[in-house]
Amino acid sequence: MADKSDSPWGRKSIVIQKQFFRSKEKVLQKLGKSDETKDEIFECYTQNFSQQQAVAAKLAKEVKNYLGCCKAMSSASSSLYETLESIYEEEWEGQSELANIKETLGLLWDDYQRKLLDQIFNPIIRYQSKFPDMKKKVDKRGRKLIDYDSSRHALEAAKGKKDETRTAKAQETYAEKKKNYEDINNELHEELPSLYDSRIPFYAQTFQQLYSAETTFHEEVAKAMSQLSDIMATLNKEAQTGNYSIKKKIPTIHRDNNSSSSHVPPSPNSSERSQTSLEQSEQRGIEQVQEEVREEEDEDDDNQAAEYQVPRSTPVVAPRLSVTDNSADNSEETSKQNDELPPGVLYRVKALHEYTCLDSDELSFTKGEIISVIAYDDPEDQDEGWLLGIKESDNSRGVFPENFTMRI
């Protein structure tokens, strides 16, 4: 006949029987009707083990969060430098170096995240994997301890009844339970302290690798940032020297008569300008202004004009017109007008020709409009041949070419 323990029902009944006796023993111990075997050293070990588990779980959680933040920071860094690369124009200094630095930063972030995963996070997970098996062993030791206490109490009860058969059976059961308990208890007395002591070299090695990876990462990123800083400093320096400044277009007056020709004075920035060409340019400017004055006095026929232009950076020397017979009257009238000028107004000019602004800081005006000339807030901002004024018709403010107007 087969043993009951070999059948599924037999094994289940044995388990149920064990659970019953263990529950009974726990109740008796809680009620104080039976004593409990105490091991203060083991209790200290289990407290250390529980604390070790909690610390490792918290560390794994924080490292996982750190990895997530690094991934987000890597993505943000990539987006930032892609935007910087897109707005950095090809003709600017360091455009090719910027693309290389962006690629380098991406590789640095990838390498750093891989080190965090391989050298920090995965070892922590392996370290934690030791705890479940140890926890099961500690729980098993607790069950064996209850079996041991239960068999011990059964033996004491059998001895009290002086039943040799029952006593012998209880003695045999007691010896078996005692051996099972002592075997696992001795193992845990070795393994728990060893596992607890392993935390120190593990944490030391883990954090050493973390700080080493961070040091390498930040050193390489700092080098890339230094290169970016140098590129931006060079770009800023070149921008201040005007290398990337957009030159304003030269205003032009169109006239219809065939007797006049256009004249463009040379730019003052030309290194080859000679003294002779400057004097000729100034003389032609004087003649043109005199012609404009006469045309204004003759009511300025719109169809009688000559085409000429003056760059914003080129000065036109205003001629001193010869005094006519009524010079005394004009001088007196001008002095009177100057006395009546509003505060801040240097003098007033009248538009000889229509002008359409080519930039947002310029004035547009039509022929005959009056403009009050004022001083620049910063004299260094003034371009030669250009004035700053307020148009009296609508109080709009801006710069305009001096050679399009006549002082009144």
Q: How far apart are CA 402 and CA 386, in angstroms?
A: 5
**Strand order, beta sheet including 345-351:** 397-401, 386-391, 370-374, 345-351, 405-407
pLDDT tens-place string over residues 244-279: 777 655 555 555 444 444 444 444 443 443 344 444
Length of the chain: 408
Task: State pTM to two decimals.
Answer: 0.54
What pLDDT, on a 0 to 100 scale, did the predictor assign at position 19? 64
pLDDT value, residue 124: 97
User: What does the pLDDT read at residue 163?
Assistant: 74
- pLDDT tens digits, residue range 225-242? 999 999 999 999 988 887
Segment holding 11, helix H or strand E: helix 8-31
pLDDT digits (tens, 9 = 90+) for 80-137: 999 999 999 888 888 889 989 999 999 999 999 999 999 999 999 999 999 999 999 9
SS3 label, residue 137 = helix
Q: Which of 279, 291, 282, 284 is nearest to 321 (CA)?
A: 291
- The token duo for 301 is 């026929």
Look at residue 188 and give its three-state secondary structure. Answer: helix
Q: What is the pLDDT of residue 365?
A: 94
Report yes or no: 109 and 74 within 8 Å, Cβ to Cβ. Answer: yes
- pLDDT recorded at residue 77: 94
What is the percentage of the chain residues whose pLDDT exceeds 70?
A: 68
Per-residue pLDDT, 397 = 92
Both structure tokens of 314:
């080129």
The whole-angstrom separation of Cα 399 and Cα 404 is 12
Three-state secondary structure call for residue 386: strand
More confident site: 54 or 260:
54
The reported pLDDT for the residue numbered 189 is 96
45 neighbors 196 (Cβ within 8 angstroms): yes
pLDDT in tens, 294-351: 555 554 444 444 444 444 444 444 444 343 444 445 444 555 555 578 888 999 999 9
Q: 150 vs 274, which has greater pLDDT? A: 150
Assigned token pair, 85: 């690369």
Mean pLDDT of 67-91: 93
Please give the pLDDT value at position 96: 87
Does the CA dihedral 263-267-268-271 come out positive or negative? negative
Residue 159 pLDDT > 90: no
Q: What is the pLDDT of residues 8-31, one digit of tens each?
A: 655 666 666 666 556 666 666 666
pLDDT tops 90 at residue 216: yes
Residue 266: the pLDDT is: 44
Q: Which two tokens stand for residue 218?
A: 């930040």
